[in-house]
Amino acid sequence: MDVPSTALFTDQYELTMLEAALKAGTADRRSVFEVFTRRLPEGRRYGVVAGTGRVLDAVENFRFDSGVLGFLRDRAIVDEATLQWLADYRFNGDIWGYPEGEVYFPGSPIMRVEGTFAECVLLETVILSILNHDSAVAAAASRMAVAAGGRRLVEMGARRTHELAAVAAARAAYVGGFSSTSDLAAGFRYGIPTVGTSAHAFTLLHDSERDAFRAQVATLGRGTTLLVDTYDVAEAVRTAVDVAGTQLGAVRIDSGDLLLMAHRVRQQLDELGATRTRIVVTSDLDEYAIASLAAAPVDAYGVGTQLVTGSGHPTCSMVYKLVARAQSTDPKAPLVPVAKKARGGKTSIGGRKWAARRVDEDGVAEAEVLGTGPVPAKLSGRQLVVELMKGGEVVAREPLDAARDRHIAARAGLPMSAIQLSRGEPVIPTEYV
């Protein structure tokens, strides 16, 4: 599952900037980069931070080994002096950021990377690649979890995306509120609970649906989930209960009018005495389809394509910008704010930022407050940015369940309108002080 190095998960211009800075004598200037997004995806009311743990792993594994250096040398991408510098590369700076699972808004300093310009600039692409993908999936997962109203959600999108992206997507979905995944690699790597029984091919393999059900129950037990929509659903439900008995764990419906079928199957199961048999539905679900089934007797949802593609928003448009740098290579030189000035909504605000979430008298969030000066006393206990890496060493590695629990708590602290699926503006404003 691991790759030898993450050093080439980058764009070429990161290395050409490094070479030019080394020649100019500016590569060692102390610098601060921040990850933020200028806006949420259209219609979304909050974002979800996901991928932080993967970023820390990627930074630790950002090494230019002999194979990587040979590739760069053969392509003449940078000169020999730069290759020698890269051979000893280790990120020795500090990383701060919103903890994984936290929610964010436009301008939020989701991650801050501090060190020399040379060591920080190289990390831009890999950090954005991870955070943009994982946060998009986690945001979709969060909306689906809200729509599900506490019912179980199974991530099953591995066949709808790149094989490595599938593992990351399963992890992000778990942070966003999903309870399990069908992807064994995600279970192996991150400890996410895995589930799975059979597909239509298994039923079609056998001479009859009854034979298929018998084979599955004999192997997986009466608590298994039988797929009942290969032929005739009503007949399949009768056969399933006849084969497994009233202790049958669940039936899965993967096609047709899910709302109508769920009601019919529930009635049929109850009439057959299988009152505890659960109903699982799949078939191109998104948060809106899940919400439309809120009144249906559905116990769990399996979601694939829409989840792993961010439900229409596969990226969060996060950027990685230099916001402060020293005027010389002296480690004690003060930092000065820097910012891009451009038209078209691509301006940025200079300076190393803190972030705090102001709440009302009921403890409900009312604003995301950002600043570069001293933190107001009334907000000192509400700060969002935490230390993640110090001197190149990870200081905030945590179990994935901690991020999942944090997201549930963070979402619960937002105004009620945050959980509306209708399009709208960010649920709280961003204020600069």
State the first-to-last Cα distance of the chain, in angstroms, to the nearest integer: 45
| Strands laid side by side in the 278-281 sheet | 180-181, 152-155, 300-303, 278-281, 250-253, 225-227
3-state secondary structure of 96: strand
Alpha-carbon gap, residue 361 to 285, rounded angstroms: 38
Percent of the residues in the chain that have a pLDDT greater than 70, as a whole number? 98
Domain locations in the chain as residue ranges: 12-136+313-432, 197-298
Q: Which residues, listed in sequence order, are joined to residue 297 by a DSSP beta bridge?
A: none
Alpha-carbon gap, residue 104 to 145, rounded angstroms: 18
Q: Residue 324: how many CA atoms within 13 Å on its side-chain side? A: 16
Inter-residue contact 238 to 263 (CB < 8 Å): no
Question: So what's the pLDDT on residue 1?
Answer: 45
Alpha-carbon gap, residue 96 to 172, rounded angstroms: 20
Alpha-carbon gap, residue 235 to 209, rounded angstroms: 10
Question: So what's the pLDDT on residue 292?
Answer: 96
Is the pLDDT at 244 greater than 80? The verdict is yes
**Alpha helix (H) residue ranges in 149-244:** 163-176, 184-190, 200-205, 209-220, 233-244
Class of domain 197-298: alpha beta
3-state secondary structure of 36: strand
**CA 189 to each of CA 61, 183, 406: distance values in angstroms, whole numbers, following the listed order:** 16, 10, 21
Inter-residue contact 423 to 42 (CB < 8 Å): yes
- Quote the tokens at residue 299: 């116990």
Average pLDDT over residues 266-276: 98
Phi, psi torsion values for 356, nearest 5 degrees: -145, 150
What type of residue is 122?
L
**pLDDT tens digits for 182-203?**
999 999 999 999 999 999 999 9
Categorise residue 110: left if φ over 0, alpha if ψ from -120 to 50, beta otherwise. alpha
Average pLDDT over residues 271-285: 97
Is the pLDDT at 346 greater than 80? The verdict is no
Q: What is the mean pLDDT of the chain?
A: 96
pLDDT bin (cut points 50, 70, 90) of residue 348 is confident
Average pLDDT over residues 277-281: 98
Average pLDDT over residues 141-167: 97
Average pLDDT over residues 168-189: 98
Helix (H) or strand (E) holding 180: strand 180-181
The CATH topology of domain 12-136+313-432 is: nicotinate phosphoribosyltransferase (3.20.140)
Any idea what the Cα angle at residue 36 is, between residues 30 and 42, rounded to 5°? 165
Residues ≥6 apart with Cβ < 8 Å to 5: 61, 62, 63, 64, 65, 68
Is the pLDDT at 263 greater than 50? The verdict is yes
Inter-residue contact 48 to 140 (CB < 8 Å): no
Average pLDDT over residues 56-68: 95
Pairing of strands 94-97, 225-227: unpaired
Question: So what's the pLDDT on residue 4?
Answer: 66
Alpha-carbon gap, residue 144 to 413, rounded angstroms: 18
